[in-house]
Amino acid sequence: MRILGIETSCDETGVAIFDDEKGLLAHELYSQVKLHADYGGVVPELASRDHVKKTIPLIKAALQSANLTHEDLDGVAYTAGPGLVGALLVGATIGRSLAYAWNLPAVAVHHMEGHLLAPMLEDNPPAFPFVALLVSGGHTMMVEVKGIGEYQILGESIDDAAGEAFDKTAKLMGLDYPRWPVAVQIGRKRHTGALYLPASDD
């Protein structure tokens, strides 16, 4: 089975073609960092408009890179949320429209489920059940992954997501957008080897 995947949940446009036997055949990624830099963060309306411009060209580039046409595909998957509403609508509209035009099934993928199951794409995927630390956008949680579609939230942040706290701290430090890469570089320079997890072998 060969699937075209479309990801437009925030400020990056991602397209990939995945084969369940051969693995990843092609992927294209466009970042909107420069577009949002002057505003110090993601502007949802600008993000949505940029997805409109970039998604179809990235799909064409991925198909060309994989030396495929739409006739070689078995389905189209797209991120259904959570995320920025306008950005999600762009990906969903394009994904569903192409699936309809190409007479293929369209599959809506829950954004967080996509993160949870991403390790299954590795050469040595984990066996069920496993525990995942999910840190994405406004989500910070520990989840037991029992199987596909079987998840149990073990714990989550109470008032703010880890990424949000990280971003606010970097902003207080006066770092420019995007702040997290710069903060990571500063942390590596100043605290190399300061923390090793787990703390013990027990």
pLDDT along the chain (202 residues), means of 10: 97 97 96 90 95 98 98 98 96 99 98 93 91 85 95 89 78 80 77 58 55
Sequence spans of domains, the chain: 2-111, 122-186
Fold annotation for 2-111: Nucleotidyltransferase; domain 5 (3.30.420)
pTM: 0.85
**Residue 191 pLDDT:** 64
**Tokens linked to 180:** 């997290």
CA Rg, the chain, in Å? 19
Do the first three CATH levels of 2-111 and 122-186 match, i.e. the same topology? Answer: yes
* CATH T-level topology, domain 122-186: Nucleotidyltransferase; domain 5 (3.30.420)
pLDDT, position 101:
99
